[in-house]
């Protein structure tokens, strides 16, 4: 029996990129206004939103699996424990949570190397935060 090759794709965005399927909590008017400004004044943000919507529509290919990792405020620091959630848990403005760049990288490596973690987050848009404990 031939092996089935799966192509795992991890796209990185930010918590400011809304989940196109509408699973995120509704943002405040101020947050939606900032998202609007980012979309039209910052091309990389618009690219992130477009890429997330595009890959989310790619469900017709059984050999393509994906996730969109959305880190919160990025900081420098070493890898440590991190948490992943199905949607943002903070406001776009000054939330109490952040995540190190190392933890974002570690979360992506962990998903690729740990089948159960990949199965939990494939076809989803998790947010990543440093663990507070």
pLDDT at residue 62, as a whole number: 79
pLDDT at residue 1, as a whole number: 45
Q: Global pTM? A: 0.87
- Band the pLDDT of 91: cuts 50, 70, 90: confident
Contact 103, 80 (CB under 8 A): yes
């Amino acid at each position: 029996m031939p092996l089935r090759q799966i192509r795992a794709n991890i796209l990185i965005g930010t918590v400011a990129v809304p989940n196109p399927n509408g699973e995120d909590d509704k943002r405040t008017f101020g947050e939606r206004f900032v998202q609007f400004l980012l979309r039209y004044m910052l091309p990389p943000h618009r690219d992130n939103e477009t890429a997330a919507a595009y890959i989310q529509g790619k469900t017709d290919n059984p050999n393509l699996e994906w996730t969109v990792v959305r880190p919160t405020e990025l900081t420098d620091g070493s890898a440590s424990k991190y948490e992943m959630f199905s949607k943002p848990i903070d406001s776009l403005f000054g939330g109490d949570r952040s995540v190190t760049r190392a933890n974002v990288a570690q979360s992506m490596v962990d998903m690729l190397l740990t089948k159960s973690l990949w199965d939990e987050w494939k076809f989803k848009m998790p947010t990543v935060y440093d663990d507070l404990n």
